[in-house]
Structure 1
Amino acid sequence: MRKQYFSAPLPFQGQKRMFAKEYIKVLQQFPDGTTFVDLFGGSGLLSHIAKCQKPNSTVIYNDFDGYQKRLTMLSETNALLSELRKIVDAPRYKAILGVQREKVLECVRKYERIYGCVDYITLSSSILFSMKYVTTYADLEKETLYNNIKSTDYPPCDDYLDGLTITSCDYKEVFEKYKDVPNVVFLVDPPYLSTDSTTYKMYWKLSDYLDVLTILAGHRFIYFTSNKSSIVELCEWIGKNKLIGNPFESCQRKEFNARMNYNSSYTDIMLYTDVA
């Protein structure tokens, strides 16, 4: 039996690990063989869980943010972190300063020269302040570095994306391709409004976020959002689009309190349609 992950094997901003158990319960209402389309694939956790729970289903994972590539770099990432452990002797969770900082940056530059790229998102979780992420060296060298270095290697996860149909394109293209598939269920987890979306490749503005709602009407879906979303603007937009109406009107709702760090939290929300 394949391993089922309840959190993504590598860091990703906004992965739905806290919703895993509730999400699994929601999946049970759909028959095995249902087509699931993960429009904003992110870490792939929603797709992975769907495939584990419904092994005979087709699950499309839209890897727009390049998570699969990060997984293929796992051994290089582990090697980099191992070398950083030898360099850094600053107290745990304290700033890395002076000569140590320069050695850390030089080590990162060396790995980028050798391998052509570095998994900066995973690296960020080890040498930046909690929930702070960068995606380039230019951004990294502007930041204060901290000793949060993971004490052990990330374990192998070669089977994480097994069985998924993987694509990488704009979510609208994916939707157009699968919108007429009988009984399709869309997994919809766009970047949250009013939250840091550093790790997403595409810049999101309000109108982009609202455009997502137009694809929900008339389809089955599991949708994720947060109480940080601009609900007033959202409702005003829905009010101007009378033909679409409120796609969440008959949805079931689950909430989970999420803590980003010691003084910051928000509420994650999952909305889903019942089987007709």
Structure 2
Amino acid sequence: MKTYKKVPLPFIGQKRNFLKHFIPVLQQNIPNNGAGWTIVDVFGGSGLLAHIAKRTLPQARVIYNDFDNYAQRLHHNAATERLRQKCQAMVSERKNQRLTPATQSRLIAEIETFNGFVDVQTLASWFLFSGKQAKDWTDLKSKTWWNGIAQSPYAEADDYLDGLEIRQQCFTELLPEFAGQPNTLLLLDPPYVSTAQGAYANEQYFGMVQFLQLADKMKPPFVFFSSTKSELPAYVDYVCREQVGNWQVWEGCQKVAIKARLNYNAAYEDNMVWRFD
């Protein structure tokens, strides 16, 4: 099966920069190509973690919780490519240049009369300044647009989700089914607390209360992704030092950190934390 090292369609928060760390962690801790193991991508997002887990450990059962309905976007990949070509032909501004009001108005008219599926998240990646998000079409068309239209065509990616078991459940329903079960790895990449979540299916889906629910119910083995923007490292240091809450799950964790950048003047640190024993 083909292995994708980046997502076929744009998604805020995809973890492709962690793959060189994530793959060895899987290989070093799960034997026999994953035979007898279940891997649950609890906050599935773009499905990249689930996809890589299945390609790395093909004998494992891999569950992708497609809460944000990324599979639907992939299903309409051909329509998104048709719309990309139409929009590209209408824009004369240079790459990364702000669009004139006239160009933006023409594009909005074209999109609203387009005969096919309209993928708002992909459109936001074309027309909003780096790192900006839109919660829906009404929100997107009210913003200032820039020329960030993808230059390369979107290829068919029907095989991207091959081999995955797809669910669509809130993590509060999915986690109790699998947490603490033998040979079950939890992949935990929740929306970052206290950050913009407008690109997700439910922008109120994950706040501080939800994070505390997750922290209380999770058990090793797990791989957890987070960021200094949501203060996970500080939280882990605190609960282990004070021995409060479900602190034992964090004891002895390993961590790797990478620098990430939203745009030319906004950077932060992303973290991958894992524990298997």
Instruction: State the TM-score, normalizing by the size of structure 2.
Output: 0.91
Distance in 2, Cα, partners of 1:128 & 1:211: 33
Aligned twin of 1:224: 225
Q: What SS does structure 2 have at the residue aligned with 1:269? A: strand
Q: What SS does structure 1 have at the residue aligned with 2:255? A: strand
Distance in 1, Cα, partners of 2:101 & 2:123: 19
**Structure 1 segment 27-46 matched on structure 2, within 5 A:** 27-28=26-27, 29-31=29-31, 32-33=34-35, 34-46=37-49
Q: Is the 8 A contact 1:225 1:270 kept in 2?
A: yes
Deviation at 1:233, TM superposition (A): 6.4
Distance in 2, Cα, partners of 1:198 & 1:240: 34
Deviation at 1:67, TM superposition (A): 0.5
Residue 87 in structure 1 maps to residue 87 in structure 2: no
Aligned twin of 2:250: 248
Per-residue displacement from partner, 1:204-238 (whole Å, max 9, x unpaired)?
A: 22111221111223x31111111112355676678
Q: CA 1:135–1:108 in structure 2 vs 1: closer, same or farther (change >3 Å)?
A: farther
1:68 to 66, 71, 87: 71
Counterpart amino acid of residue 247 in structure 1: V
Deviation at 1:240, TM superposition (A): 8.5
Q: CA 1:243–1:97 in structure 2 vs 1: closer, same or farther (change >3 Å)?
A: closer
Count of aligned pairs between the two proteins: 270
For structure 2, the residue ranges without an aligned partner over 5 or more in a row are none
Distance in 2, Cα, partners of 1:43 & 1:56: 22
Q: What SS does structure 2 have at the residue aligned with 1:258? A: strand
Deviation at 1:134, TM superposition (A): 1.5
Q: Which moved more, 1:173-182 or 1:79-88?
A: 173-182
Q: Is the 8 A contact 2:124 2:133 kept in 1?
A: yes
Distance in 2, Cα, partners of 1:239 & 1:201: 36
Deviation at 1:59, TM superposition (A): 0.2
Aligned twin of 1:107: 110
Aligned twin of 1:262: 264
Q: Is the 8 A contact 2:256 2:271 kept in 1?
A: yes
Counterpart amino acid of residue 205 in structure 1: G
Per-residue displacement from partner, 1:240-260 (whole Å, max 9, x unpaired)?
A: 984522422211111111111
Distance in 2, Cα, partners of 1:233 & 1:227: 10
Instruction: State the TM-score, normalizing by the size of structure 1.
Output: 0.91
Deviation at 1:125, TM superposition (A): 1.0
Q: Is the 8 A contact 2:240 2:250 kept in 1?
A: no
Distance in 1, Cα, partners of 2:244 & 2:136: 43
Q: Is the 8 A contact 2:99 2:146 kept in 1?
A: yes
Aligned twin of 1:186: 186
Aligned twin of 2:151: 151
Counterpart amino acid of residue 23 in structure 1: F
Q: Is the 8 A contact 2:194 2:207 kept in 1?
A: no
Counterpart amino acid of residue 21 in structure 1: K
Distance in 1, Cα, partners of 2:236 & 2:185: 23
Aligned twin of 1:16: 15
Deviation at 1:91, TM superposition (A): 2.1
For structure 1, the residue ranges without an aligned partner over 5 or more in a row are none
Distance in 1, Cα, partners of 2:267 & 2:227: 11
Aligned twin of 1:121: 121
Q: Which moved more, 1:206-215 or 1:159-168?
A: 206-215
Q: CA 1:230–1:152 in structure 2 vs 1: closer, same or farther (change >3 Å)?
A: closer
Q: CA RMSD, aligned part only?
A: 1.9
